Amino acid sequence: METERVKALIEAGMPGAQVEVNGDGRHFEATVISSDFEGKSLIQRHRMVMATVSEQIASDELHALSITAKTPEQAG
Q: How do residues 36-47 score in pLDDT, each as one tens digit? A: 999 999 999 999
Given a cut of 90, is residue 1 above it in pLDDT? Answer: no
End-to-end CA distance of the chain: 30
Q: What pLDDT shows up at residue 76?
A: 86
Residue 52 has, within 13 A of its CA and on its CB side, a CA count of 21
Given a cut of 90, is residue 20 above it in pLDDT? Answer: yes
| DSSP letter string, 13-74 | HSTT-EEEEEESSSEEEEEEE-GGGTT--HHHHHHHHHHTTHHHHHTTSS-EEEEEEE-HHH
Q: How do residues 33-73 score in pLDDT, each as one tens digit? A: 999 999 999 999 999 999 999 999 999 989 999 999 999 99
